[in-house]
Chains A and B, each alone.
Chain A
């Protein structure tokens, strides 16, 4: 196994490479030289429009969304100490979807759809929190079951809305649910909220990181080794939910990134959360950015839902790492 710092450096290169790839491919192919020229202020008007109005905003939102999702997935997995946990397991995306679909069926524009999705996510977080922490003792299985039940409740509500919706809004709704980054626009480039949220999330995760290492050995053991469980659990739950809510608001419920990137990084780099958190941010961002670039180019001018591509890339990659990981364990 390589040193964690080497792998982290390679992931930084991968992220930069993904950005270059995303800026260069499309209906108007741009060479790396063109991109460099455009980014430094030179370049033709058309390439400026393509880069700054279309590709860069979308790449930027894709990267941050992927990073948020995989960070949230990592936090959820430790909180529930369940390898099957993903950012959506506690119903945040279900709540957001219902909010978004109500807004879409009311005919609102994309900003209002996002706001409505965010409100739906917050409502779902509050609901799960109140029900799981309400009375009696707190434990991961109670939180997990509460979240899963709420999530399936949202699922039923989504099907209900879908079955009543007229045809013209159906495609929008389905794309939203599978994840769609085409809402990204150039104003987002100058808005510092998204990167600030990501950086805050990463910093908070790093502060908690060593406690998370201990928490993966079980709550009792963590407590015995000096971790105050109550505040840690609460911050984990709130942080993971908030990051998920922001991600879902940006791009709908893109599946798979939040489940698989944390596992890939555990196999690739370490289970130490101080390495895992930044690795998840870089790898999650790159995976979603590459997937989205493929999603908009493979059958251009038609677009595929990005969630489909994350799965197409992620499934074989994950299975490969898994088998490699087990081989390493068998022959130490």
Chain B
């Protein structure tokens, strides 16, 4: 079943054309990657899919319903996004932050119940931050804050997860462990992930399908294995990339 699809989606940021006619269909248990150079609209594409950026033309469907016909709460019940920037204007604990992920699932007058707290605590456990639950968030390191944001998204528990550079600020161990967890979780619960990445090796390791944003509105869409050729990558990054085969694994390295 298609969880998220686009029809001839066109996105523009002032003078940059992100995509002219994007047609994708993210089915359940699929992990999608979005690759592109800086400033070519990876983040804008994710924001547009989340309904946070206006569409030039075309349409987006969430589980076969048009996105423009849904209100923010209905969207947030099925679609969650990990943003690149995290804002914390006032003092607040880690658990208090993660529990905000339950917001779309609770009606206006209700308080979070035991179940919501259990979900939030599980989410913290899955990013290995249970021991910091009561710590003020402004004492955390960049990587820990990124994991808190990921835990908030896990607590939100949407079918569609949009991740904007999920591995930023994370050390090597957590890059692998957290992407392992998210991708495994997605396949197990028939969800879908769309994420922007800069690391080709992580893209090759986790993504089933890729969207390459070439700039000037052109895109390449397809299976990861077929799309990650040296020729395509040169087109994508405007810089030569070497594809090395070692121990049945393909490794990408910049010249």
Contacts and interface: CB of A to CB of B under 8 A. Distances in A.
Contact of A207 (B87, B89, B108, B139): B108
Contacts of B139: 329
Contacts of B80: 224
A221 B136 CA distance: 19
A270 B109 CA distance: 19
Given A214-B100, A223-B52, A225-B103, A83 B76 contact: no
Contacts of B134: 332
A213 B91 CA distance: 11
Contacts, number: 84
B90 interface: yes
B72 A226 contact: yes
Contacts of A228: 71-73
A220 interface: yes
A212 to B, nearest CB: 10
Interface in A215-253: 216-218, 220-221, 223-229
A221 B72 contact: no
Given A221-B86, A329-B136, A332-B134, A226 B103 contact: yes
A216 B103 contact: no
Contacts of A270: 96
Interface residues of A, number: 31
A221 B87 contact: yes
A1 to B, nearest CB: 9
Given A223-B52, A225-B104, A226-B104, A218 B72 contact: no
A225 B75 CA distance: 9
A210 B103 contact: yes
Contacts of A226: 72-77, 103-104
Contacts of B108: 207, 210
Interface string A45-86: 000000000000000000000000000000001100111000
Contact of B87 (A77, A81, A83, A225): A81
A332 B97 CA distance: 18
Of the four ranges (under 10, 10 to 19, 20 to 34, 35 or more), the interface on chain B belongs to: 35 or more
B251 to A, nearest CB: 35
Contacts of B77: 226
Nearest to A325: B91
Interface in A158-206: none
Contact of A227 (B72, B86, B87): B72
Given A221-B86, A226-B77, A332-B135, A216 B92 contact: yes
A266 B96 contact: no
B96 A271 contact: yes
B83 interface: yes
B234 to A, nearest CB: 34
A267 B80 CA distance: 31
Contacts of A81: 87, 89
Contacts of B92: 216, 271
B90 A271 contact: yes
A34 interface: no
B72 A217 contact: no
A83 B91 CA distance: 11
6 contacts: A77-B90, A78-B89, A81-B87, A226-B72, A226-B77, A271-B90
Which are the 6 A-B pairs with shortest beta-carbon distances?
Answer: A226-B76, A218-B87, A226-B104, A226-B73, A81-B89, A225-B103
Given A221-B86, A224-B80, 20 more contacts: A82-B89, A83-B89, A207-B109, A211-B103, A213-B96, A217-B97, A217-B100, A221-B83, A221-B87, A223-B52, A225-B103, A226-B74, A226-B103, A228-B71, A267-B91, A270-B96, A272-B96, A274-B111, A325-B91, A332-B135
